[in-house]
Structure 1
């Protein structure tokens, strides 16, 4: 039996499956303090005595460098209770099992790569656009990472000519997350993104920022597929707007697959992260 944790900044999702990735049980609960949250994690997994491995995809930044003294830690997160918390270490204290450890977006990327929208491709990028923006990439079956993991949501972008918003990211202001994540809409207008009409100009502005990032990722990594998930991308009009802006900005400089098969939605939907966690668990055996 395999276990998985999709550790998000807002909520945790835990699941167990058989070795063929058929989910047996799945639960979710709010992310509070490490102590309170892990107590619920342990309560869930303790009922499964034949658990063989656990895969964890965590919000970050996290330390993925196996040579680092802080490998397995959540590091410089704005969630202060989790800052410099030894997440993987606490899990291993409770369960002496093989464990896979990566970011939440890497886990979602793995799920889509293995059994989702990028199945049968050798490379892909997964970007989630919601409360924050984060991305993971896989090239030839391996995560793109080095000293640390990518922080795709914090690349700097050029302001839209109709947008005077300075950005809300406390580190960079006008990075992609600061200008295009869900909270940027509320901070501009004082209402939730889902309350704004589909034909409002903000969606074209957000698409412009996202397209800039996708052009950068395309030019640097040349993936076979880009998968866009998250709450902002659930707006029905967003995918077409992003494709249009991307096509304009790329200007046919490099060849890509057909745009409609190149920039797509996650076929696993909200299951991408937890499925990736189960795959991590299976790979760790």
Structure 2
């Protein structure tokens, strides 16, 4: 039996699944103070004999096992959670193999295994909502270097007529600062879901996102880019992004047809939790393979 935790700044989604990854039970726990949240997580998983656990956490997080901050949530704006040893708490409670990555990396893994990127060996998953975050899978494995990708904080070229200072508390006018959901509402005074389809802000939004996707393409050259999150509930926005991406690329490098290259998520609101269950499965398989070698 596998356990999965999509640990978000607003809520923890916890799930257990059988050996075929069919979800048996799933619950949502409000992310309050760490101890209260952990107690509720423990109460859920203590009911099940899990063999492995996967965690996709809000970040930034420590991912290098050789570093003291491994498994910790780092400089998060979520009050009370900076330097919390999330992985350590789970390891202490459950003596099973545990996969550990960011929530968006878990979502990328979910999309390439069970979602819109199935059949590919590489993909980028970008979520556009209250914030913007990106996960990367290369050669069917979650990508990380000295840290994990923080793709939402890429700097992009600001439109000359855009005077909005940006919402990001660290960088102001990075991609997240200019194109996340709160930026739409702050510029227009209207929530994104209520904005008219012909509002000029959608063209601005599409341009900023297309700039970022162009950069990701030129640097990482994934087989497909998957877009998710609340802002992508707008059908017309995807077409605008595809169009602007094509114009910006100007035929410089070859990609698949844009309608097949930049696509919407295949597991709406499920990518992350399914990804964590898949990570748990992989962690258990890796442990068995190591024991045989």
Q: Fold match, TM over 0.5? A: yes
| Of 219-228 and 133-142, the range deviating more from structure 2 | 133-142
Per-residue Cα deviation, 1:79-138 (whole angstroms, up to 9, x for no partner): 121101100001111112110000000000000111111111111000000011000111
Given the alignment of the two structures, is residue 82 of structure 1 paired with residue 67 of structure 2, yes or no? no
For 1:57-68, what aligned pairs fall within 5 Å after superposition? 57-68=56-67
Deviation of 1:142 after TM superposition, in Å, equals: 2.1
Cross-structure match for 2:50: 51
**How many residues in Structure 1 have an aligned counterpart in Structure 2?**
284
Cross-structure match for 2:137: 138
Given the alignment of the two structures, is residue 284 of structure 1 paired with residue 273 of structure 2, yes or no? no
TM-score (norm 2): 0.95
Aligned mates of 2:194, 2:262 — CA distance in 1: 26
What secondary structure, in the 3-state scheme, does the structure 2 residue paired with 1:160 have?
A: coil
For 1:80-159, what aligned pairs fall within 5 Å after superposition? 80-159=79-158
Cross-structure match for 1:204: 203
Per-residue Cα deviation, 1:220-264 (whole angstroms, up to 9, x for no partner): 011100000000111121100110110111111000001111000
What secondary structure, in the 3-state scheme, does the structure 2 residue paired with 1:80 have?
A: coil
Deviation of 1:276 after TM superposition, in Å, equals: 0.3
Aligned mates of 1:67, 1:225 — CA distance in 2: 32
TM-score (norm 1): 0.97
Moved over 3 A (4+): none
Aligned mates of 2:240, 2:31 — CA distance in 1: 33
| Of 255-264 and 140-149, the range deviating more from structure 2 | 140-149
Deviation of 1:38 after TM superposition, in Å, equals: 1.3
Q: Gaps (5+ residues) in structure 2? A: 285-293
Cross-structure match for 1:262: 261
Deviation of 1:10 after TM superposition, in Å, equals: 1.4
Aligned mates of 2:190, 2:37 — CA distance in 1: 30
Aligned mates of 1:54, 1:173 — CA distance in 2: 36
Aligned mates of 1:214, 1:87 — CA distance in 2: 31
Q: What is the aligned-residue RMSD (CA, Å)? A: 1.0
Deviation of 1:47 after TM superposition, in Å, equals: 1.0
Cross-structure match for 2:238: 239
Aligned mates of 2:68, 2:110 — CA distance in 1: 28
What secondary structure, in the 3-state scheme, does the structure 2 residue paired with 1:237 have?
A: helix
Given the alignment of the two structures, is residue 37 of structure 1 paired with residue 37 of structure 2, yes or no? yes
Cross-structure match for 2:12: 12
Aligned mates of 1:36, 1:209 — CA distance in 2: 39
